[in-house]
Structures are given as C-alpha cells and as structure tokens.
Amino acid sequence: MLVLGIETSCDETSIAIVENGKNIIGVKTYSQIKDHKKFGGVVPEIASRIHVKVIHNLLLELLNETKLSLKDDIDLIAATNRPGLIGALLIGVSFANGLAFSLNKKIVGINHIEAHIYSAFMTNEKKPEFPIVALVVSGGHTFLIEILKIGKYKILGRTLDDAVGEAFDKIAKILELPYPGGPVVDKLSKIGNPKAYNFPRALIKDVKKFDFSFSGLKTSVLYEVKKIKQQNNLEKLDDRTVQNIAASAQRAIVDILINKTELAIQKIKPKSIMVSGGVAANSELKSSVIELASRYNTKPFIPHISLCTDNAAMIAGLGFYKKQFAKDYISEVFTGCDLD
Ligand code: KG4
Ligand code: ZN
C-alpha cells in the first residue's frame, strides 16, 4: 500500500510517499528555518503563507522524482491534523482534502506527536518489543510515555512549562546563537566544558513524578550571562564562555531527561526505550540513552536524524498503520483533545 503523507504543523512543509508503513519511496521537505531566522523563532502567519507557496511544487517534484501517479498509484492520503499552528495545519489538511476529493481517495488525519513516536518504528531493522518507554522531545512538546502497543499509550509525564527544544532555542538566543538553537548548542557542547557551570535540574528530586520543567534552567542561564557581562564589563561573551555555558546547559537538560526516563524504566521495566522528535537528534542525549538502555538491559530505538525533525514520512507511515489495523486501533490518548 502506498500512502501520501502531508506535514505542515509548524515550519516544515513536507510531502512523502511511503510503502507499507516503512519503506520510504520519497520525501520532499521545505524547511522554513531561514525564513524565520531573523525573528529568532517561528512566526505563525509567515509559516502559513510559505506552506501555501511551496506545497504544490513539492508534490509535483516528488511525483516527478518517484515517477508515481497520484491517481493510479496512491492508495491513501494522510495529513497531520493536530497539534500545531492552526493556520499552518489548515494548509496541509485543506490540500489533502482537495486531493482526496478530486481523486476519490481515502484520507486519514494524523496526530503529529503520535507520528513522532511512530518514526522510531520505521528505521530499525529489529522490531521494538513492548512495553516501551518513549521520550518524545521536540520544539513544542516533551512527553514521557508508556507504549503498550501502537495506538495504546499512557502519558507518564510532560513538561510543566517550556518544551525541551524550546529550552534549547531560548538558551541559544540568550547566548546570541542562531535559530534553531538545538543543533548549534549540540555542536558547541562538544568543545565546551559541561562542568563549568552548575545549572539547576528541576524536579529531579521528586522521584514520584515524571514531569519536566525547563523554564528555570533558561532563567538561570540568563542570570549567569548577565552576571558575567556585568562583572567583566562586557558587551558580548567570549567564545570560550559561550561554549562552556552551552555545554553546561545541555548537560543539565540531558540529565533531567535521563533522570526521568530512568525512573520510568524502574517503574515499567520496558523491553525497549525510544527517543523521537527534533531533540532526539542531540548527540549527548543519544549516547546517554544508549548507555541507559544497556545498563537496564533494554534495547534503544532512536530514529535516523532525517526522521527526527518534522517530516511527512512519519505521517505517511502512521497513516498506513491506522488504515491497516483500523479495526483494533485504539489511540486513546492521541485521538483525544488533551494534547491539542
Ligand atoms: O520535531 P521538531 O522538528 O519540531 C517540532 O515538532 O517542534 O523539533 C524542532 C526542535 C527545535 O527546538 C530544535 O532546536 C531541536 O528540535 N533540535 C535539537 C537538535 N536538532 C534539532 N535540539 C538539540 N540538539 C539537536 N541536535
Ligand atoms: Zn515535530
């Protein structure tokens, strides 16, 4: 079965064709990063307008490259319908509805968070075994989830304030680094000293809860930067200080994520651990999760970097799954409104 996936929930316009939920035939993504860079974050109105501008050509390019015909080859259309920027979501959903109506194809709405989870099922040779403890870490969301099977989830914890990707982006902004902050903080952390500053690890003493908090860390970085500038009468931090703050902040973020994931492992005793979403591209998080998994004798599943940040392949992949197993497909959490 060939599924056409459409993703427009934030600042990536992406179209993909995936066979049987796993085999990626083609993906075309327009990343709007450079369009939002000068504003230091995503501007919803601009995001919607760019989706409108590029979506049609991306589809034509994908069809041209794959030599597939929408009418003859595509069996199903899947589009992200929540959560996300409402104007941006509307472009993808309307585009998908237009295609489905004119071509008389079936259409399925996909929850973006659930698709991030599904992406970890798409790339690995080995099959993840249940139960799974999954960490979904992106620019807009931070969840710790128990997966009993695809479609059956229990949310163990979530962020009480900033999402973890948002924390990376805000810390980068304070350090006057470009948007998005995650990749650049990741890069600088490789040369900085992670022990140079002792930033707070919120909520890690509360061993009964799995929730996260990152806004205090961001504020602490802000105060530290102000203090260093004042004490040394500086307009701008020197490179070494920026590298050390980046490395120390990243170490605090990874410690928080690993601490709560470890608590969840002790409670659930999972067979597999998953990390997905944009922040799953982080090199320190990846190596720490692999180390954690080996300590608890479970298998780690982290998508290939191309499937970590927003993409339509994960949307098409989950679309196949929902259609194929619709009869006993539950998705109690993610089809509800509690994440919208
Ligand atoms: O999943 P995603 O593409 O979009 C949302 O659904 O939000 O995630 C984007 C987020 C951004 O905040 C970005 O800074 C972060 O993922 N990110 C990273 C890395 N690469 C992307 N964070 C830390 N380390 C990275 N290497
Ligand atoms: Zn995402």
Which of the listed residues 135, 162, 168, 282 should we mutate to test ligand 1's pocket, taking the one with most ligand atoms within 8 A of CB? 168
- Specify the residue for token string 């490179």: 239
Per-residue pLDDT of the chain (340 residues; tens, 9 = 90+): 999 999 999 999 999 999 999 999 999 999 998 999 888 888 999 999 999 999 999 999 999 999 999 999 999 999 999 999 999 999 999 999 999 999 999 999 999 999 999 999 997 678 899 999 999 999 989 999 999 988 889 999 999 999 999 999 999 999 999 989 999 999 999 999 999 999 999 988 888 899 999 999 999 999 999 999 999 999 999 999 999 999 999 999 999 999 999 999 999 999 999 999 999 999 999 999 999 999 999 999 999 999 999 999 999 999 999 888 766 665 555 554 333 3
pLDDT given at position 80: 95
CA-nearest of 143, 245, 247, 133 to 190 is: 247
| Smallest CA separation from ligand 1 atom 7, residue | 139
Neighbours of ion ligand 2 (CB under 5 A): 138, 310
Ligand 2 center from residue 204 Cα (angstroms) = 25
Ligand 2 center from residue 72 Cα (angstroms) = 30
**pTM, 2 dp:** 0.92
DSSP conformation class of 38: G
Query: Which ligand 1 atom is nearest residue 169's CA?
Result: 14
For 194, list phi and psi in degrees, rounded to 5.
-70, -10
pLDDT given at position 151: 87
Alpha helix stretches (DSSP H) within the chain: 33-36, 44-66, 70-73, 86-103, 112-122, 164-174, 181-189, 215-231, 239-268, 283-295, 305-308, 313-324
Q: Are 212 and 261 in contact (CB under 8 A)?
A: no
pLDDT given at position 339: 34
pLDDT given at position 324: 84
Helix (H) or strand (E) run with residue 2 in it: strand 2-7
Q: What's the rounded Cα separation, in Å, for the pair 137 and 158? A: 10
pLDDT given at position 312: 98
- Residues flanking ligand 1, CB < 6 Å: 10, 138-140, 165, 168-169, 180-183, 186, 277-279, 281-282, 309-310
Ligand 2 center from residue 58 Cα (angstroms) = 19
Helix (H) or strand (E) run with residue 81 in it: strand 76-82
pLDDT given at position 334: 57
pLDDT given at position 249: 98
pLDDT given at position 133: 98
Which of the listed residues 138, 288, 308, 314 should we mutate to test ligand 1's pocket, taking the one with most ligand atoms within 8 A of CB? 138
CA dihedral (292, 293, 294, 296) in degrees, to 10, reads 90
